[in-house]
Amino acid sequence: MLNPIRFRLLSGLTRVSGAALCPTTTTSAGRYCRHQLRTFSCESARVKVLYDGLCPICVTEIQFLQFLQRKKPEKVDFIDISLPGYDGRKYKDITYDMAMEEMHVIDKEDKVHRGVPAFAVMYSAVGLGWLARLMTWPPVRPFMDKSYAVFARNRLKWTGRGDECKAGRCEIKSEKK
């Protein structure tokens, strides 16, 4: 038999925190996709992930997520904001500068998620709903928010791209001979 504290902790991990994950169907247990209780993902989710294709850390994560959704590539569109043709008007007016500041994800209902909630939507869409729930779980969420803020503020410097990204678009450093 579970004591009340363990029950609350375990039920907190199984509940979706807010509307960050699949806000389409409401059940008596909270807001879930009809089948999320079994698969921990939203089969019908079609999200757009805006990422910096010149960031090696970001690209590594996107490649991992693409690998996870390889059998159902229609779940997530990965949009590289570093390409010259990126037009924020097509993506809820998210400008290049806005997208460079923090992660942006547009869910299937055209709602924009930023920061940690963006990761939660993205992870849920590729079948990592358990990780999304952990990230948004109230005891863990403040740590995730602070950690992501530090990463977002320093990622250009940490990836060796600080100077060329100060004004306008980032450019790949060319080696002079």
User: What are the pLDDT digits (tens) for 19-36?
Assistant: 444 443 333 333 433 333
CA–CA separation, 12 and 25 (whole Å):
19
**pLDDT tens by residue, 109-166:** 999 999 999 999 999 999 999 999 999 999 999 999 999 999 999 998 888 886 666 5
Looking at residue 152, its pLDDT comes to 92
Bridge-based pairing state of the strands 112-114 and 104-106: antiparallel
φ/ψ (deg, to 5) at 85: -85, 5
φ/ψ (deg, to 5) at 117: -60, -30
Q: What is the mean pLDDT of residues 97-109?
A: 94
Q: What is the pTM of this model?
A: 0.69
Q: Is residue 173's pLDDT more than 50? A: no
Looking at residue 40, its pLDDT comes to 36
Domain ranges within the chain, ordered by starting residue: 17-161
Rg (CA), the chain: 18
- Angle between helix 116-125 and helix 129-136 axes, rounded to 10 deg: 160
